[in-house]
Structure 1
Amino acid sequence: MYQTYFWDFDGTLFDTYKVMKKAFSQAFLRQGVKIETKECYSLMRRYSLGYTYAHFFTLYPDINVDKVKTDFRRIEESMLAQVMPFDGAIEVCQAIIARGGQNFLLTHRDQVAWDLLKKFKMESDFTGGITQKLNFPRKPDPTSLNYLCQKYQIDKKSAVMVGDRVLDVEAGHNAKMASILFDYDCLIEEDIMPDKRVTKLHDILE
């Protein structure tokens, strides 16, 4: 059983994709381009927001890139109050603490990630973490994981990276630790080898 859990935020601890896909679609619609939320969601889940932007900017080269990104951020921010933790997120993090383990946050989001954890009384379940503020290279680069392991003197043999995308699995492996893929909608088809694949967060502890 692992002792230290590094958690991705979007799509792992919190179900933010529900607002992300709506905000993304609305940002493009403001420039007259209709994008189905199902399509942008699939790309975000399987790859990343940056990949999704690149995909649609290639399809619609006349789009005002800066305006789309600005509109997305503003629309998404207005919707974040709707965001909820995934079923089991609170209980699993508490169970890890109860048995003497640690949780760390590893996200490219800004302070809003900590704000949402605080809102649901989860902040105290995390020893520390990394957000956009520290400006580390994006996953699957292992720099952020290596930094936390060194700072908190974590044994990588008992540590695991938990996330919902391929890049989370790769980040864990690149840092020489285990990885758990939270594939709640069974959307990940890429040929990757997480140490464990779950569709419910409660199964992480089994």
Structure 2
Amino acid sequence: MFEEYIWDFDGTLYDSYPVILEGFMSTLNDYGIQANRREIYQILKEKSSAAIAEKYHLDFDEFTKIYKGYEAKDPRIPVSYPGTKEVLEAIVAKGKKNYILTHRLVASTQELLEREGMLHLVEEIVGPENNFPRKPNPASLNYLVDKYQMIPDKTVMIGDRTMDVDAGRNAGIQSIFYDLENLLEDIDANYTVHSVKEMNQFI
């Protein structure tokens, strides 16, 4: 169905939110803020980490530095959702390509993929080192589309957050909302899946 698959990483390919959320909660606690874990998770999914900093009137750069520190020190190693490797392999087997667009550092993303033998299945990873504006700004997607001469109707952005879907729409490509938890409503994606296996219909 598609030829080029651009994946978000955290919460889409990898079940990393337990570690990420714990980092946010610890950071807010450092500021003396007793926040509701579920509410923080909802903000992360619907909006972004910047929205959390804004909600509590915190400096975003400082806030980010602290929570990234907590995340780095967490001994838990995120793993991919069951079936993820099989989906990526199926895409490559058909001569199609996978890309990753993430707010996670490229080196960290590569390391996690390598641990599970999936790094070779990804053509390119675009992360914060590329210095593009954060999603939903389409600049990072536009870069991939231009570099690989992707056809918009044959290219899809896949992600678990509103910003992923919005980024895809802003770039003029297709979008799949990865709603593994039935958490968000009224997401303006071209398609929605509720499990990794449902991705097979789009390969």
TM more than 0.5: yes
Aligned residue for 1:82, secondary structure, equals coil
Query: For this pair of structures, how many residues does the alignment match?
Result: 200
**Where do 1:100-179 residues align within 5 Å?**
100-110=95-105, 111-179=107-175
User: Distance between the aligned counterparts of 1:78 and 1:97, measured in 2?
Assistant: 34
Cα shift readout 1:95-123 (whole Å, capped 9, x = no counterpart): 11111110001112212112211121111
Does structure 2 retain, via aligned residues, the 8 Å contact 1:139–1:167?
yes
Does structure 2 retain, via aligned residues, the 8 Å contact 1:129–1:148?
no
Structure 1's 25 and 174: CA in aligned 2 closer, same or farther, altered over 3 A? same
Structure 2 residue aligned with 1:86: 81
Does structure 1 retain, via aligned residues, the 8 Å contact 2:45–2:161?
yes
**1:197 Cα deviation after fit:** 0.5
TM-score normalised per structure 1: 0.89
Structure 2 residue aligned with 1:38: 38
Structure 2 residue aligned with 1:21: 21
Structure 2 residue aligned with 1:11: 11
Structure 2 residue aligned with 1:97: 92
Aligned residue for 1:117, secondary structure, equals helix
Q: Which structure 1 residue ranges, 4+ long, deviate > 6 Å from structure 2?
A: 63-66
Identity, % of aligned positions: 34
User: Distance between the aligned counterparts of 2:4 and 2:61, measured in 1?
Assistant: 39
Residue segments in structure 2 that go unaligned for 5+ positions in a row: none
**1:195 Cα deviation after fit:** 1.4
Q: CA RMSD in A?
A: 1.8
User: Distance between the aligned counterparts of 2:122 and 2:59, measured in 1?
Assistant: 39
Structure 1 residue aligned with 2:189: 194
User: Distance between the aligned counterparts of 1:151 and 1:143, measured in 2?
Assistant: 12
Structure 1's 80 and 98: CA in aligned 2 closer, same or farther, altered over 3 A? farther
